[in-house]
Structures are given as structure tokens and as C-alpha cells.
Structure 1
Amino acid sequence: MMKFVVHGLIVLFLTVVTQIGGLAWLMSRLFRRSLLVFVIVYVAFSIGAQYTAPAFGRTPLSCFGSGNLQVQSWFYCALNRTYVSPALLEVLQDNADEVAREYPGTITLVLDANFPFWDGFPLLPHLSHHDGKMADLALFYSEKGRYIPRAVRSPIGYFAFEPGPTECRKTWLSLRWDLAWVQGLWWDLTLDEGRTAFLIKTLAEDARVQKIFIEPHLKDRMGTHSRKIRFQGCRAARHDDHIHIQI
């Protein structure tokens, strides 16, 4: 009985984290070298998802691109979290192009996007990212006044929070982590306010973009004012480590 419970929890975890990993785990149980088979099946499913996702209105971001729009880490590609609708891909590329024209050499990085299949399937720990129309973008950073392409302060782009005031109070129902204990471990970089403000402004002026979530103190700091730029609320994760957009 315990064996079934353990495998059930593994299937649940892999499904929640990767969408297709749970099914790959179940199939691997039919073979003797199950762990090796799981890896093979998971890789095969992940490759196959790139060709079947368009039937669900999704297209994968390139994990090996070298242009001005790139996925921040292999981590998101490995977990199948890099899928967007064709319309969102066009928005992301157009705005990355606009930033690169204003600031040559700038690379816009995508963090979490969406899974390849089925609207409504949650992309935890996000409260959204379930329809292919939402994506998170990394902030831009500099060191000693010089912009560093592809640089983020934490390994996955999240959880390196920019300091600033907040009106939110901690509650046990909130996803608003401070993670104060880990902040000193991140790369000591400076927010590139010029590039970040320009990206937010460009996104806000794009008629296809409906909402942009950033923390109010970052909105004030960037001098960006638009009805599209909103506060996500106190029961959602902080947005002073990334920019959330949706179309």
C-alpha cells in the first residue's frame, strides 16, 4: 500500500511541476530499468510537446535562441514551462526588439511562461499562467554602471527582491515571501533602471498588452504610470523581482 502512495505522490509532484512528467513516470513503471526509462520517456514527451502544443494554441519559446529574446535558464525548458500563445510570442519579440533598438545589445529574458497543454491547468506556484497568454520577464541589471547581458541576481531570476516599501502584512495564506535569509547570497548587481523602465513603458504602450504586474514601489521608482500597470495584491507573490505581462 505504501508503495502505491509513494508513486502516487511522485506522479502528483511531476504533474504539478512539469505537466507531462507524471505520465512519463507511470509509463516507466512498466520496465525494469525504470529510472532510465523515465528519463528517456520524459525527454521524448518533451520533444513531442513542441510539435503537438500548437493544437492547443501554444508555441514553445526557443531554448537555444541567440537573439534579443531568450529563455533565462535551461530550468524552465526542462520543466516545459516555456510555452505561450502565438500572439504573446509576437508581443514578446516585438517589445524585445524595441528595447534592443533603444539599447543595442540588450537581451530580454523570459522566466516562467505556461505549460504546453490545456487552458486552466495551473502553473504552480503562480496563481495564473494557465492559458498561454501570460509570461514573466526578468529585470535588467548592471554592475559598476555597465549593463550585463543575461545577468540576473538569482539562478532562476526569481526571489532576488528589490528593496522598497510595502503595505502588505504577512499572513499564512499569502504567497508573499520575503526570503530575507537568502537575499545576501544573490549576485550583488544594480537594477538597470533605464532599460527596465523603457521595457515597462514599451509594454504599457502596446495595445495588445492588457495587464502588467509590478510592485508599486518599482512603478514609482521607474516613473512609469499607466492604467495597465497594476499591483497584484497582497495574497500573490511579490513582483519586485520580475515583470508579469498578459495579453
Structure 2
Amino acid sequence: MIIALTATTQLGGIAWLIGRPFRQSLLVSLASYAVLSISAIWVAPAFGRTPLSCVPEKGGAHAGIIFCVTNRHYVTPELKSALNDIVDDLNTSFPGIQLGVLDASFPFLNDFPMLPHLSHNDGRKADLAFFYKDSDGRPLPGGTLRSPIGYFAYETGRSACPATRFDLHWDLNWLQRVWSKHELDIDRTSKLIEAATANPRIRKVFLEPHLQKRLDVNHPKVRFQGCYAARHDDHIHLQL
């Protein structure tokens, strides 16, 4: 339990330990976790991290509530500034646009693992949600997700990797029928990648090859993440 809660929230294992000696251990653990998580907002800057907003707002980047609750919405000030610049760039074409952020990093300690990611351990990486349209072709607000956590809802396209059980490049074909049928918004998502690659702070953007072709992306910063990492046709990974 300690390992699982620490790997998913960083502070959950500590909160669980605090609650164990009490009769109402679950209640005490939840209260402890809330206190620790709120305190992290003010303590994290001492570790070079700052939280992203958890509230959707026009013309801004925000993390989904599940990522805020699990303390996975922290970035370095430099990355936060880069995300704000990207949103400002998008606003010129799409006034009032909202940018949804998925997993970023935990509030404390470099090289602290964030499962199931192979990176996201230094505040210098963040995953961005795609933009979608509804079944009538109307643009949905930024941060709208096809799956509850934003991951594993893959876009249709041929994977560049062979099927295997021993890596993170899961196909999960059986799960795809469960997710919403929102359509990828080619225009806004392409502009998002264009704004990210144009930003001098951003060094790499990971995206599956079939989506690079579909979105007409051709930039040296846009790369294939390899077959041993998670698929990147359900989100965009960028890093300083």
C-alpha cells in the first residue's frame, strides 16, 4: 500500500502511515493527505516546482482534477512559462482557447519515479491533451478527454511497433470501444504542435508517426518515442 500510494501520488504513502495508528484510520489518512497536498503548493517552490492551475480558464493551461488530486500537476517555472507562451500563441488563432494538461511531475525531488512513465521525474516534462470535436463537428473545450484519465484512448492508425507483452506500448484494443467517440480536431491540435515546436524553450515533442503524418507535422523537435515507452497517439508529450 505504501509503495502503490507513493508511486501514484508521492504523498499518499506518508498519509496512509499517519492514519494507521488511529481507529478511524481511513478518515485520518484522507485528512492527512489533504493537508499534505495543500501544503505542497507552498513548499514545492523550494524544490524548483510550481503547480499548474486546476481550474479551466479561457486563454490558459490547466491540469485535470484527477491530476491535481494526485499531485501530478507540478512543473518547473520555466516549463510553466513555456506552456503559457504556447497558449498565448494559440490565442491568436483561437481566442479564449483552453489547454488541457495531463501528467506533469510530482511536487518534490528530482529523479523520483512517476509510474507508469519512464520520465516525468524532474518537472521538465508534461503531457498535453488533444483537442477534439463532437459528433456534429463542433469544437469541444480544451481539456475535454475521451477517457476518464486522458490516456489509453488511442487515435486510429497503424502502430510503428510490433505487438508485445513486455513493454509499455500497450494496444488495449478491447478497451477502445468503451471511450467516447470524440473526433480529433486536426486544426487546433496541429496548431498546438506548431506552437510547441516554435517555442525556444521546448526541446522535444513525442508523437506517434502515424499521427505526425495525419497532422502534417514535419519538424526536427517532433520525434517518435520508441517502442519501449507508452504510445503517444492519445496525448502529446513535450519537454524542455
Structure 2 length as normaliser, TM-score? 0.96
Indicate whether 1:223 and 2:198 are aligned.
no
Q: Deviations over 1:154-185 (max 9, x none)?
A: 12211110111223112222111111111111
Partner of 1:214: 207
| Deviating 4+ runs (over 3 angstroms) | none
C-alpha distance after superposition, 1:88-140 (max 9, x if no partner):
00011110121122112321100000000000001110110000000000000
> Is 1:16 aligned with 2:19?
no
Q: Out of 44, 47, 58, which is 1:53 matched to?
A: 44
Structure 1 unaligned runs (5+)?
1-9
SS at match of 2:178: coil
User: Counterparts in 2 of 1:61-210, with a 5 A limit?
Assistant: 61-143=52-134, 144-149=136-141, 150-210=143-203
In structure 2, how many angstroms separate the alpha carbons of the residues matched to 1:46 and 1:138?
A: 24
User: What is the letter of the counterpart of residue 118 of structure 2?
Assistant: L
Number of equivalenced pairs: 238
Measure, in 2, the Cα distance between the counterparts of 1:101 and 1:155.
Answer: 30
Q: Post-superposition shift, 1:214?
A: 0.4
Matches of 2:228 and 2:3, distance apart in 1: 24
> Which string of whole-angstrom CA distances, capped at 9 and with x for unpartnered residues, describes residues 173-205 of structure 1?
211111111111111111100000011011111
C-alpha distance in 2, partners of 1:206/1:119? 24
Correspondence list, 1:231-246, <5 A: 231-246=224-239
Instruction: Letter of the 1:45 partner, please give it.
Output: L
> For residues 39 and 160 of structure 1, what CA distance do their matches in structure 2 show?
30
Tell me: CA distance 1:105–1:145, structure 2 relative to 1, closer, same or farther (3 Å): farther
TM-score scaled to structure 1, two decimals? 0.93
Residue pair 1:69, 1:93 contacting (<8 A) in 2 also: yes
CA–CA separation in structure 2 for the residues paired with 1:112 and 1:187? 20
Specify the alignment match of 1:29 in structure 2. 20
**Contact 1:84/1:134 (<8 A) preserved:** yes
CA displacement, residues 51-104 of structure 1 (integer Å, 9 cap, x when unaligned): 100011000011124233343521111100000000000011110121122112
Query: Following the alignment from structure 1 to structure 2, what is the Cα–Cα distance between the partners of residues 12 and 165?
Result: 36
| Cα distance in structure 1, aligned partners of 2:115 and 2:104 | 11
Task: Provide the secondary structure at the position in 2 that maps to 1:71.
Answer: strand
Is there any run of 5+ residues in structure 2 with no aligned partner, and where? none
Deviation at 1:221, TM superposition (A): 1.1
| SS across alignment from 1:159 | coil
**Identical columns (%):** 50
What amino acid does structure 1 have at the position aligned with 2:217?
Answer: T
Q: Which secondary structure state, in structure 2, belongs to the residue aligned with residue 53 of structure 1?
A: helix
In 2: Cα distance, 1:202 partner to 1:70 partner: 14
